[in-house]
């Protein structure tokens, strides 16, 4: 397995891409409300990314037709923006990537549409916090299994499940690089981390079963039991003494 170690020049470009992603997600959160369509959010993201002299990482990637992924309730990831209208009580997952001078950053958020149920709110909070629990242990020589175990243990302590079929990934001059970054694992196993590695860490969790399937559009992934899902992601850099989050 070849895992790229980024130079200071490459990291600087990824920081700039990360700032664009962060700002797009903030723009979307400012505009999300009942009655808006996911396609409208997609257009806002596209216009902002292009205004920053960047390109949407997802647009055309593997044939994906839009600039962002918008996944609602039981849809975990890779939902395609459309004229679907957002309604009170939905949990929307928005995933954004930006390519700035051939370097990528990638992040996702779970956003409440108006007032949502207590269970959905708890799911979103646990998903987000599991990311921070995981990165709290990261530094050179920590193994990926330690990260996955930390996320999994936290999520399962609240009775939720960690999706196994979808994982995080390395990122840099390509949107998806090695290594795969599971949100589950065994302490002491997996790749040892090194300073200069850049990873997209993205817990994806369900209220019910961890099992998922892909819909007929060949993109949208849903929980098998149609229970609600949450997703939280940032692009991070392993530093000499810890972690830098590039998309916050």
| pLDDT by 10s per residue, the chain, length 248 | 789 999 999 999 999 999 999 999 999 999 999 999 999 999 999 999 999 999 999 999 999 999 999 999 999 999 999 999 999 999 999 999 999 999 999 999 999 999 999 999 999 999 999 999 999 999 999 999 999 999 999 999 999 999 999 999 999 999 999 999 999 999 999 999 999 999 999 999 999 999 999 999 999 999 999 999 999 999 999 999 999 999 99
Whole-model pTM: value is 0.96
Spatial distance between the Cα atoms of 41 and 174, rounded to a whole number of angstroms: 25
Quickly count: other Cβ atoms within 10 Å of residue 181's Cβ. Answer: 23
- Is the domain defined by 8-245 classed in CATH 3.90.230.10? yes
Q: Where are the domains of the chain?
A: 8-245
Distances 84 to 32, 39, 45, 79, 81 between C-alpha atoms, Å: 13, 8, 17, 11, 8
Burial 210-228 (b: 16+ CB within 10 A, else e): bebeeeeeebbbbbeeebb
């Amino acid at each position: 397995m070849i895992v790229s170690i980024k130079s200071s020049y490459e990291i600087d470009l990824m920081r700039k891409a990360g700032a664009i992603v962060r700002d797009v997600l903030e723009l979307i959160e400012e505009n999300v409300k009942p009655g808006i369509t996911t396609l409208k959010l997609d257009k806002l993201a596209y216009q902002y990314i292009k205004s920053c002299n960047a390109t949407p990482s997802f647009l055309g990637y593997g044939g994906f037709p839009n600039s962002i992924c918008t996944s609602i309730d039981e849809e975990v990831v890779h939902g395609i923006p459309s004229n679907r209208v957002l309604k009170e009580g939905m949990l929307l997952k928005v995933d954004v990537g930006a390519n700035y001078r051939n370097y990528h950053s990638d992040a996702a958020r779970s956003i409440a549409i108006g007032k949502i149920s207590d269970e959905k709110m708890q799911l979103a909070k646990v998903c987000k916090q599991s990311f921070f629990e995981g990165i709290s242990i990261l530094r050179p020589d920590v193994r990926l299994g330690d990260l996955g175990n930390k996320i999994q243990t936290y999520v399962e302590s609240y009775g939720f499940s960690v999706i196994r079929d979808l994982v995080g990934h390395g990122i840099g001059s390509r949107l998806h690089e090695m290594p795969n970054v599971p949100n589950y694992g065994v302490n002491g196993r997996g790749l040892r981390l090194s300073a200069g590695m850049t990873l997209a860490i993205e817990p994806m969790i369900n209220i019910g079963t961890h099992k998922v399937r892909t819909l007929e559009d060949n993109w949208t992934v849903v929980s098998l039991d149609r229970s609600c899902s949450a997703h939280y992601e940032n692009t991070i850099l392993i530093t000499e003494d810890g972690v830098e989050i590039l998309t916050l």
